[in-house]
Structure 1
Amino acid sequence: MTTQERAVAAPFAALLIAVLSFSLLQTMPVPALPTLQQAFGASTTSVSWVLSAFLLTASVATGLLGRLGDMFGKRRVLIASLTVTALGTLLAALAPSLGVLIAARAVQGVGAATFPLAFGLAREQFPRERVPVAIGWISSTFGIGFGVGLVVPGLIVDALDWRWVFWLMLLVTVVGIAAVALFIRESPVTSPARVDWVGALLLSAGLVALLLAISNGRVWGWASPPVLGLFAAAVALLVVFGVVERRTAAPLVDIGLLRIPAVLTSNATALIIGLGMYGAFTLVPLLVQTPPSAGYGFGASVTGAGLFIIPMAVAMLVASPLAGRLGAAVGFKLPLVLACVIGGLGFLLFATAHDTPWTIYLANGVLGIGVGFAFASLANLVVSAVDPRQTGEATGINTIMRTIGGTFGAQIASTIVTANTIPGTRTPAESGYTTAFTLSTIAMGVAVLAALAGPGTLRRPAPAPLERVAG
């Protein structure tokens, strides 16, 4: 290993550990939800807030802290966000009630800033020729955390107690804090300014209203007054946010940034990919846990259902760095288009051949390739299109778009699947899964068109990062 490689290895490992800590936070509580419901004597709706509270604060923290990292130093903000996340995780491990656990999960959501901050630090810390692959590896860590987060908690809950799920997450987070503090240099490029608290409040309120409407639409009714009111409030708040940001000297979000063609099409594609892909993350475990007496499914346990996801996690681990290398050679438009095509093929397999375990493993592997290509390509397209002082802001918004699409996609998929049940039971009919997977296939086809609308050709060399002045 050369001196330069050793200088890169430690910071790179630190970023991977930091990102892993957050990716685990997203999924590790999912397999434990039935246990939590029983432990606290809660309803299904109440315990679902363990996920919803995390999602709401994560969506706000992604954009806000990404921007603060650009302003005051990404390393400083990353350590702060991970520290808050660790405190939330400690509170979750000690939670005496479901209400405290939900509050702790909301605090944990602050860790969502890890992704945009890590992308920005990779751009600043590593040699330019290594940045695309580094971003690919950081993106693939999402797949590792996703797979581990669905498999390990079942084993922990069976052998120990649900609280140990959070103790393990706390350990990984503390290691991440130490690694970043020891091996990451502070950002050499910042854009100091006053914090736009009005913009932060408007954006946070708009996103919370939007995600609350999406998350509760299936339970409350999509046409119910509360859901329609939340949608209307979200639109109004986000429109006002846009007007305020245009008139602010140091805005939280540079509206002009969103008009850059590569950023605009990447955000649109991220929204559609989230809409299509995240349905599989929620539906596949439900499908394989369905008892064979229903005419489909395999009666898998919680841990067994997690094992079906392993091919997706492994494929993402391989595909994301591969997409980074391919994009560095020919530009990231081609791997993004391939991501959408491959993801569509994975969903087509789910829709047409979900009657044997091996086809589920195969479809998950194919989908994992698509997800890995997508995450690496979207991050690199955004990073290469903006000024270094706006990397956190730009990648944060892209992550928010994917989150909004994913939340909507998961709710739509759940609504479709639960709309028809087998007579005399509460088990969803197989046709619901087929329809949901078919719609995801169509969504990935639309994502192909959005990706093709981006600037450049499919074999255009990777563009040099823009060095324009923010504002």
Structure 2
Amino acid sequence: MPTSTRRTHYWVTFAVLAVSVASYTLMQSLTVPVLSEIEAEFDTNQNTVTWVLTAYLLSASVFTPIMGRLGDAYGKQRMLVVSLAALALGSLAAALAPTIGLLILARVIQGVGGGVLPLAFGIIRDEFPIEKIGGAVSIVSSLLAVGFGAGIVLAGPLTSTLGFRWLFWLPFIVTAVAAVVAVLVVPESPVRTPGRIAVLPAVLLSGWLIALLLGLSQAPDWGWGSPKVIGLLVLAVVLLAAWIRVELVVEVPLIDMKMMRLPGVWTTNLVALLLGVGMYASFGFIPQFNQTPSESGYGFGSSITESGMILLPSAIMTFLTGLVAAPIARRIGPKTVVVIGSVLGAVGMFQLAAFHDEKWQVALANGITGTGIGLAFACLAGLIVAAVTPQQTGVASGMNANIRTIGGSIGTAVMASIVTAHVLPSGFPKEIGYTAGFLVLGGALLAAAIAGLVIPSVSEKKIAKKLDQERNDRDLSIMGA
């Protein structure tokens, strides 16, 4: 039957999707500033408590593309509800966890919620009016960066007033409500990718992602030349090669390698990788810089809350640019917006490397970086959506989000190695480590701008025309069935 007689109003759907993506993204960073408190609460050590982050990262990296592919095959609304239920269940388990082991297990369950990202983009493509798709994708994309920054900003006040367990209670409440609302109001997509999903590609994909991300995350502690790190990275390469080989021969691939080779896909993924290097690593280490006692020759001795407030300009500017990115892209093209945004992000990071003696200097640099990353992120997802068929939207968006995460892992591992290479007698890193690290992150963002020049040029008008044709073909197919 025609789309107009069977679908929920798109703004209702958008509200559910925005809350879902924001909740998932917040869970990536809410625990970052309070790991030391969690370590004390459970009487554990630093190596163990870092798994509160690592477990979530690994789980989300595995399930994001898989849930996207399952949504393409079995229904995006159905898998969105499953993803939200996993976020809610994991948050509840984390809030009640009596031991650090159970808390880490709860974070693994939360990671299944990574599916909300590709599913949200797929639902927007299927349900929204053509002229509204670009704006909705831009805002949801910007929430990826906004949520990450906001989590760091909010962690301090929430923990100091309510206790760290409310970092999980609040997401549980929000995602549980969102899951119920999603069941009631989000329409199921008629766009499906037929065929049974093979198990072996999923196993191999999980294997190389876990080996790669585990090796990268532990390299600063174990040493880049340690047998364990080298072994994990070699294993990742071997499993990656095996995964690609299997995907090329199975009847219904989990990730279509032909799709991944499309110019509009691999170039956008390369930019996403480099942006991930710059964004996630900066959010992880700027709070540490701010909290370093000024007696060390740098830093401000900020509390968790104060440190988060210095990052607030970045979160605000990322959100605001997400609102205006689509209109700008309609005028100058999404590719140009990505390039300009990446350059702005690099300028902010280089400024931070050169000028960080005052809090306002750090806040200003963060605002510039947030503006740039917000612009770039807001257009990346739209470029991916435009480059693939409706049946591939979920898995393509999932891999793009995953590649950002891999970039973040690379950036964080490299930044950690640079920062901790030289340590003061007090145990704090020397200032030169942060300066060099920020320069490297700025270089990654500049490289993202250069890579953005290779993205095939496509106007918003062409994107809209393609989406309109696909929508017409879909509706004719539905009426014919």
TM class by shorter chain equals over 0.9
Match of 1:166 in 2: 168
Per the TM alignment, residue 330 of structure 1 is displaced from its structure 2 partner at its CA by 3.5
One-letter code of the match for 1:445? Answer: L
Q: Which residue pairs with 1:21 in the alignment? A: 23
State the partner residue of 1:455: 456
Residue matched to 1:402:
404
Partner of 1:166: helix, strand, or coil?
Answer: helix
Q: How does 1:55-454 map to 2 (within 5 A)?
A: 55-422=57-424, 424-454=425-455
- Give the length in aligned residue pairs: 465
User: Could you tell me how far apart the structure 1 residues matched to 2:146 and 2:235 are?
Assistant: 37
Alpha-carbon displacement from aligned partner over 1:243-295 (angstroms, at most 9, x marks no partner): 11111111101000011101010011111111222221111101111111111
Identity over aligned residues, as a percent?
42
Mapping of 1:42-57 within 5 angstroms? 42-57=44-59
8 Å Cα contact 2:211/2:233 also seen in 1: yes
Is the contact between residue 386 and residue 465 of structure 1 (CA under 8 Å) also seen in structure 2? Answer: no
TM-score by length of 1: 0.95
- What is the alpha-carbon distance in structure 2 between the residues aligned to residue 390 and residue 221 of structure 1? 39
Are 1:17 and 1:175, in contact at CA under 8 Å, matched by a contact in 2?
Answer: no
Conserved in 2, the CA contact under 8 Å of 1:331 and 1:462?
no
**SS of equivalent to 1:456:** coil
More deviation in 139-148 or 357-366? Answer: 139-148
SS at match of 1:420: coil
Q: CA deviation at 1:20?
A: 1.4
- Residues 314 and 366 of structure 2 are in contact (CA less than 8 Å); yes or no, is this contact kept in structure 1? yes
| 2:92–2:169 Cα contact (<8 Å) kept | yes
In structure 1, the partner of 2:476 is none
Q: Matches of 2:16 and 2:201 in 1, distance apart?
A: 32
Letter in 1 for 2:272: A
Write the distance in 2 (CA, Å) between the matches of 1:188 and 1:239: 34
CA distance in 2, matches of 1:270, 1:164: 32
Aligned equivalents of 1:279 and 1:153: distance in 2?
18
Deviation, 1:441, is: 1.5
**Counterpart Cα distance in 2 of 1:324 and 1:339:** 13
Inter-partner Cα distance in structure 2 for 1:186 and 1:204 = 28
Asked if 2 retains the 8 angstrom alpha-carbon contact of 1:21 and 1:176, the reply is no
Deviation at residue 148 of structure 1 after TM alignment:
3.1
Provide the rounded CA distance (Å) in 2 between the counterparts of 1:397 and 1:157: 33
CA shift at 1:16, angstroms?
0.7
- Aligned 8 A contact 2:329 2:460 in 1: no
Shift of 1:140: 2.3
Structure 1, gaps ≥5 residues long = none
User: Counterpart of 1:226 in structure 2: which amino acid?
Assistant: K
- Aligned to 1:106, the other structure's residue is in SS state helix
Q: Report the CA distance between 1:460 and its aligned residue.
A: 7.8
Segments of structure 2 that go 5 or more residues without pairing to the other structure are: 474-481
CA distance in 1, matches of 2:10, 2:432: 50
- Whole-angstrom distance in 1 between the partners of 2:378 and 2:149: 18
d(CA) in 2 for partners of 1:317 and 1:175? Answer: 24
Whole-Å separation in 2 of the counterparts to 1:275 and 1:465: 32
The one-letter code of the counterpart of 1:78 is L
Give secondary structure in 2 for the equivalent of 1:228: helix
CA contact (8 A) 1:340 1:448 kept: yes
CA offset digits 1:85-112 (Å, max 9, x no partner): 2111111111110000001001100111
Which letter maps to 1:291? P
Q: Is the 8 A contact 2:33 2:287 kept in 1?
A: no
Secondary structure of the 1:297 match is: coil
Q: What is the CA–CA distance in structure 2 between the aligned matches of 1:7 and 1:81, rounded to whole Å?
A: 22
For 1:243 and 1:145, locate their aligned partners in 2 and report how far apart those are by CA, in whole Å.
36
Deviation, structure 1 residue 461 = 4.9
Change over 3 Å in CA distance of 1:291–1:241 after alignment to 2: same
Q: Is the 8 A contact 2:83 2:116 kept in 1?
A: yes
Aligned to 1:9: 11
Q: 1:275 to 1:145 in 2, by over 3 A?
A: closer
Give 2:428's aligned amino acid: T
- Between the aligned partners of 2:251 and 2:340, the Cα distance in structure 1 is 40
For the residues of structure 2 that align with 1:460 and 1:92, how far apart are their CA atoms? 43
The one-letter code of the counterpart of 1:447 is A
The letter for the 2-side match of 1:160 is L
